[in-house]
Structure 1
């Protein structure tokens, strides 16, 4: 039971004994220099917010058991990122953690699209890499700490990420992350604003990555799937089960699915990974109207073992297809869109 504010004051001279938020700077290897907010709720939930990587969520665990994926790249400093390298696939050299943001003007695979809306003759087109630029941009940290509302204590952090160029996009992401002292959920509220004055394309996706020990042989993927709209050729070639998940497989080729989900009565989508042996479930919940599309990324390769849950504003065709079929989101001058997502850890 979480103590009241008075009880906590009686029990300890420092509320950090129960939990809190601490700002540190990582100091070694490719991670050196990344400002990180360490959240501890006191229930066993602990996670890191990587301020200098779009305020994305890196390491995450509950009761000492990790559920945020840790890839071989580590949490690479954004100054090392080569956005246009390797034909746009260099994003894969900075890909790790519970959540990596894709956007703000492009998601999914790269390509070249017209730039005529920016009205700058030398810039006739824009070339995008995999999942856009946002995940490698540092945030301006505007605040963090603990806020009491009666006997409820909310741990919080807020920051701003700007993706901008002269004669190009001028997009601002305002991100707020909250967790309750004694609680088992992470609440994320993002607002993306066109801070400029030209119509600007907007695409947004969360690459939510779950790893071992939550992900293990026999773990289950749960979702109310109405229909699978698309899948990679590797699904037929390998046939790995995407509902009851296998263990690591040497040389596995990623299997990706676009599922159409049924929302609940409140208009929410909810998906989860469950490990019955571990007695642990991690779910993600979001508003269907904000993220109408969803991808399941199955990466069972030995050494890269992960499953990805990906709420998205757009279907798998990406930027060019969205422009062609009219589904591209065009943010007008000073126009905003807000996204609300909840991560929840349950003990079974």
Structure 2
């Protein structure tokens, strides 16, 4: 900044005023400073600026290494919301989300002077880390179930989403709905099972045994091979679109028509869902809204007058059923 001041023939205070858009700078002086900045290729040091103001304008996000559509889209939604709020994001990506890994990642982010953290914690073991976060560091959890750990929780209402899928199939006239569930240690999978089972109980319909998958199309394919051999199956709700994709392939290979003989509903609304054969009926999650609400909750903690607010809260984003060509009234 001193070099810019010398080249422009002004004081370093004037350079500071220009950089901070202070109104009390003459236009010709401002232009001279901006020319000097350009000639010297000057870049502000965000870290030094943050130390002076005691604000880094950087938030930490703990996520995990995954190609799964839901978690990856959640991370992207959070990053977009942070940028819209004027923050940069430092991401700690873990190969496996567990309690020790989450706490180590949060400690590493705290050492980078992040102002707060958002933790994507979709698995039971990761959610347990919310009870042991560093004191004084504002934190928000995403997809972490209940907020018993003291941190605000934001996520899609998974139970409601599963109910939408099941109630749609029952309304078409199907006697019951089979379910290909996600891994049991995933909170989202647990909630979707709860919604599926609750909708069937409320309608007085039989509840078939769940078929467990691992979110992959391959596990949906294996489930589809088993379901295709059962004559009493007319409707299936898969806990994500990838497993629904595998299910559709298995049914096609077995000569089972969709939706002529079996109706299929997925979950997520991946970009490819509308281009499958047939186009997939599915439950859409609004990941941008999850990002916005996560940021809003974290900003409330950052702006709290008396320090971080420890009162738990849950912000549940409503999902939407997208009806396409993979569901129809039963024919058998």
TM-score (ref. length: structure 1): 0.27
**Greater helix proportion:** 2
**Greater strand proportion:** 1
Higher Rg: 2
